[in-house]
């Protein structure tokens, strides 16, 4: 396809670089035009998130004693798991805490920005057929990928400068601030490179972004386990060095201020992108690397109604999530024993402050239950987004033209997802339980872990039902549901640290069931949330009376 330029009678000759990137500049301008909302939303959003953390923390920390209190949590293994290796936490300052504890979440956001942007402008375009129109013009084979990568590099630079500038403007050390900003931007670059590879593998944009997203999740888990070991001073702390997020955290802004770990990030980003280019030349336009095989000529007997269809459509994603959550559960669970070991070595009065080793373990296991619930929340929201795709891509129309009512259509997708929620929590809980049992040699916590995970089901159901209402009102407002999930995450992890008032905590659906085994499961909350979810789902079915084609 790169040969389209051969007979071009225009004086402005194509670039000398072989022409595979011809048109990159034009495409980049076009992408900037398409992303005129997304670009500032991602970059400013990440900047504002960091600004919020900084403001909230500065408001909260009024005396050195307050900082001491922070160390107690963040210096603990559980704090390391959800924060970082805690560089300089023995002599804590606000900026060290911001970079060491909250930097992780901004970095994860940057990673998502990188991978989603690349998928959106490469495989998603190819899948939709729009890329074919583009490539029929004077556009090189690699122009789209190149332009997308340049776009992400620009976004990453803007994020780095915004965050660095923001931190420096608060009076923190300039060098450290710039390094911190750059470490966040580096994660975006690495995962843009990762996405450059994953978009070559499958024909589906969703498969590309979920593969890259799973790797981002793995990076989060690996560095968590490594950091936990590092904080305890024993175990596999080298795990952090396997994670792109870990490289960014190892820069230790405001403490060691080392730039060299970012060289690893940059090198990996470049190598991954090169791999993407290499794979791209080995496949056909529009195709993945695996050629399609013929399938069954007839549908299996059970595929005979809207519910069966919904299950068939969600099946692949359910299998993927089950495998992912099982692996994550096993990994986190297997760290129970090192966690306990680390604590027996700790000074006795410190253990006492934390409420004893027993409570610390329960706190860790309870937090993991919440974490898995939030992850399953992501599954539920993504499942609702497939409904949106069914509608906008015209398949809902064909189904609704048969004897399937609107209410049955949305209801069956809701039902399949609603059953998927406790199933996934069960799988995650079982993974944690087995991991913990193998690690400690004691299966006593297994039942409690299962309960602690599955108990979050009604909270996720409520989230799912709320997403369904948003979708039923208008598909384009569905993404608003991420706000609820993000709010649940911030409240769940940071309410004690950020001193979020109880009334605001109360608003999160995830704040009521209780983080078993640390807390008791509130039966009342379970019942109330279940009823609320059922009522909300019913509202969604009733609201879903609008036109189903021709709207967005």
Partner 1 sequence: MTTAIDIHHIDKHFGRIKALDGLDLQVETGTVHGFLGPNGAGKSTTIRILLGLLRADRGRVRLLGGDPWADAVRLHRRLAYVPGDVELWPNLTGGEAIDLFARLRGGTDPVRRDELCQRFDLDPRKKGRTYSKGNRQKVALIAALASDVDLLLLDEPTAGLDPLMEAVFQECIREACAAGRTVLLSSHILAQVEVLADQISIIRQGQIVETGSLTDLRHLTRTSVDAIVDQSAAALATLAGVHGLQDTDGHVRFEVDSDHLAVVIRRLGELGVRGLTVRPPTLEQLLLRHYGDEPARHGAVA
Q: How far is CA 155 from CA 32, 195, 367, in A?
A: 10, 15, 33
**Residue whose CB is less far from partner 1, 407 or 538:** 407
Dist. CA 226–CA 13, nearest whole Å: 53
Query: Both tokens of residue 190?
Result: 């690495």
Binder among 305, 356, 447, 496 for partner 1 (CB under 8 A): 305
Contact 246, 223 (CB under 8 A): yes
For the bound state, the minimum distance from the C-beta of residue 508 to partner 1, rounded and expressed in Å, comes to: 36
**Residue whose CB is less far from partner 1, 314 or 516:** 314
Dist. CA 243–CA 216, nearest whole Å: 9
- The dihedral region occupied by 514, where left means phi > 0, alpha psi between -120 and 50, and beta the remainder, is left
Dist. CA 135–CA 217, nearest whole Å: 33
**Residue whose CB is less far from partner 1, 101 or 317:** 317
Among the listed ranges 59-67, 295-303, 425-433, 526-534, the one in contact with partner 1 (CB under 8 A) is 295-303
Among the listed ranges 116-124, 191-199, 261-269, 298-306, the one in contact with partner 1 (CB under 8 A) is 298-306
Q: Does 548 bind partner 1 (CB under 8 A)?
A: yes
Among the listed ranges 105-113, 143-151, 293-301, 449-457, the one in contact with partner 1 (CB under 8 A) is 293-301
The interface mask with partner 1, positions 185-224, x = CB under 8 A, is: ------------------xx--------------------
Q: Does 295 bind partner 1 (CB under 8 A)?
A: yes
Q: How far is CA 549 from CA 115, 468, 470, 482, 544, in A?
A: 30, 17, 17, 25, 12
Could you give the dihedral angle defined by the CA atoms of residues 41, 110, 491 and 62, in that order, rounded to the nearest 10 degrees? -100
For the bound state, the minimum distance from the C-beta of residue 544 to partner 1, rounded and expressed in Å, comes to: 12
Total chain residues near partner 1 (CB under 8 A): 35
**Residue whose CB is less far from partner 1, 127 or 223:** 127
Which residue from 449, 447, 433, 457 is spatially nearest to 379, judged by alpha carbons? 457
**Residue whose CB is less far from partner 1, 349 or 547:** 547
Could you give the dihedral angle defined by the CA atoms of residues 520, 526, 529 and 535, in that order, rounded to the nearest 10 degrees? 180
Query: Both tokens of residue 244?
Result: 């792109």
Dist. CA 548–CA 552, nearest whole Å: 9
Dist. CA 491–CA 501, nearest whole Å: 10
3-class DSSP state for residue 281?
Answer: coil
Among the listed ranges 38-46, 70-78, 291-299, 526-534, the one in contact with partner 1 (CB under 8 A) is 291-299
**Residue whose CB is less far from partner 1, 317 or 457:** 317
Q: Does 316 bind partner 1 (CB under 8 A)?
A: yes
Binder among 81, 186, 196, 313 for partner 1 (CB under 8 A): 313
Q: Does 38 bind partner 1 (CB under 8 A)?
A: no
The interface mask with partner 1, positions 417-446, x = CB under 8 A, is: ------------------------------
Binder among 10, 297, 483, 524 for partner 1 (CB under 8 A): 297
**Residue whose CB is less far from partner 1, 296 or 347:** 296
b or e along 463-476 (b: 16 or more beta carbons within 10 Å of the residue's beta carbon)?
bbbbbbbbbbeebe
The interface mask with partner 1, positions 328-347, x = CB under 8 A, is: --------------------
Q: Does 542 bind partner 1 (CB under 8 A)?
A: no
Which residue from 333, 363, 366, 499 is spatially nearest to 76, judged by alpha carbons? 363
CA 236 to chain centre: 24
For the bound state, the minimum distance from the C-beta of residue 125 to partner 1, rounded and expressed in Å, comes to: 16
Which residue from 444, 463, 445 is spatially nearest to 513, judged by alpha carbons? 463
Binder among 178, 219, 309, 346 for partner 1 (CB under 8 A): 309
Q: Does 296 bind partner 1 (CB under 8 A)?
A: yes
Q: Does 547 bind partner 1 (CB under 8 A)?
A: yes
- CB hemisphere CA count around 419 (13 angstroms): 11
Burial of 257 (0-12, 13-18, 19+ CB in 10 A): middle
**Residue whose CB is less far from partner 1, 281 or 405:** 405
CA 417 to chain centre: 19
Contact 90, 237 (CB under 8 A): no
For the bound state, the minimum distance from the C-beta of residue 416 to partner 1, rounded and expressed in Å, comes to: 15
Dist. CA 123–CA 145, nearest whole Å: 9
**Residue whose CB is less far from partner 1, 294 or 441:** 294
Q: Does 136 bind partner 1 (CB under 8 A)?
A: no
Dist. CA 147–CA 315, nearest whole Å: 35
For the bound state, the minimum distance from the C-beta of residue 385 to partner 1, rounded and expressed in Å, comes to: 16
Q: Does 294 bind partner 1 (CB under 8 A)?
A: yes
For the bound state, the minimum distance from the C-beta of residue 396 to partner 1, rounded and expressed in Å, comes to: 9
**Residue whose CB is less far from partner 1, 137 or 398:** 398
Dist. CA 78–CA 346, nearest whole Å: 14
Among the listed ranges 288-296, 425-433, 501-509, 520-528, the one in contact with partner 1 (CB under 8 A) is 288-296
Q: Does 303 bind partner 1 (CB under 8 A)?
A: yes
Dist. CA 121–CA 118, nearest whole Å: 5
Helix, strand, coil share (%) of the chain residues, nearest 5: 75, 0, 25
Range 385-414, binding partner 1 (CB under 8 A)? 393-395, 397-406, 408
First-to-final CA distance of the chain: 34
**Residue whose CB is less far from partner 1, 202 or 237:** 202
Among the listed ranges 17-25, 83-91, 104-112, 306-314, the one in contact with partner 1 (CB under 8 A) is 306-314
Residues that bind partner 1 (CB under 8 A): 203-204, 292, 294-299, 303-306, 309, 312-313, 316, 393-395, 397-406, 408, 547-550
């Amino acid at each position: 396809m790169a040969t389209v330029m051969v007979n071009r009678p225009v004086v402005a000759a194509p670039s000398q670089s072989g022409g595979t990137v011809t048109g990159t500049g034009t495409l980049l301008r076009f992408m900037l035009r398409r992303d005129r909302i997304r670009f500032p939303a991602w970059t400013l959003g990440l900047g504002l998130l960091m600004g919020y953390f900084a403001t909230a923390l500065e408001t909260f920390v009024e005396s050195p004693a307050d900082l001491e209190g922070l160390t107690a949590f963040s210096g603990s293994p559980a704090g390391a798991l959800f924060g970082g290796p805690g560089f300089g936490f023995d002599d804590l300052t606000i900026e060290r805490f911001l970079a060491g504890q909250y930097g992780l979440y901004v970095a994860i956001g940057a990673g998502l920005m990188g991978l989603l942007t690349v998928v959106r402008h490469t495989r998603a375009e190819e899948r939709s057929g729009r890329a074919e129109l583009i490539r029929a013009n004077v556009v090189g084979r690699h122009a789209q990928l190149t332009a997308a990568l340049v776009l992400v590099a620009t976004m990453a630079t803007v994020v780095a400068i915004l965050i660095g500038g923001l931190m420096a403007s608060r009076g923190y050390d300039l060098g450290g601030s710039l390094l911190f900003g750059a470490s966040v931007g580096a994660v975006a670059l690495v995962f843009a490179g990762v996405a450059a590879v994953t978009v070559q593998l499958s024909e589906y944009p969703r498969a590309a972004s979920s593969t890259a997203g799973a790797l981002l999740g793995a990076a989060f888990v690996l560095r968590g386990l490594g950091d936990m070991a590092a904080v305890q001073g024993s175990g596999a702390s080298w795990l952090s060095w396997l994670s792109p997020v870990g490289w960014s955290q190892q820069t230790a802004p405001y403490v060691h201020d080392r730039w060299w770990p970012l060289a690893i990030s940059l090198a990996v980003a470049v190598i991954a992108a090169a791999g993407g280019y290499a794979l791209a030349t080995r496949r056909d336009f529009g195709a993945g690397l695996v050629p399609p095989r013929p399938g069954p000529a007839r549908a299996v007997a059970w595929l005979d109604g809207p519910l069966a269809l919904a299950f068939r459509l969600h099946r692949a994603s359910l299998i993927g999530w089950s495998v992912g959550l099982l692996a994550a559960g096993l990994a986190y669970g297997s760290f129970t024993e090192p966690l306990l070991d680390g604590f027996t070595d700790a000074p006795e009065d410190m253990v006492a402050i934390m409420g004893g080793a027993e409570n610390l373990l329960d706190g860790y296991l309870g937090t993991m239950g919440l974490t898995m619930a939030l992850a399953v929340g992501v599954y539920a929201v993504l499942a609702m987004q497939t409904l949106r795709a069914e509608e906008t891509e015209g398949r809902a129309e064909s189904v609704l033209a048969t004897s399937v009512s609107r209410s049955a259509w949305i209801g069956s997708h809701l039902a399949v997802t609603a059953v998927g929620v406790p199933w996934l929590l069960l799988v995650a809980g079982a993974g944690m339980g087995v991991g913990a049992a193998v690690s400690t040699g004691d299966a006593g916590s297994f039942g409690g872990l299962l309960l602690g995970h599955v108990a979050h089901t009604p909270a996720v159901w409520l989230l799912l039902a709320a997403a369904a209402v948003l979708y039923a009102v208008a598909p384009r407002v569905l993404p608003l549901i991420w706000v609820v999930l993000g709010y649940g995450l911030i409240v769940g992890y940071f309410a004690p640290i950020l001193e979020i008032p109880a009334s605001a905590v109360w608003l999160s659906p995830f704040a009521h069931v209780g983080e078993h085994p640390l807390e008791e499961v509130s039966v009342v909350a379970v019942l109330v949330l279940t009823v609320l979810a059922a009522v909300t789902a019913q509202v969604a079915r009733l609201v879903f009376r609008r036109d189903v084609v021709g709207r967005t």
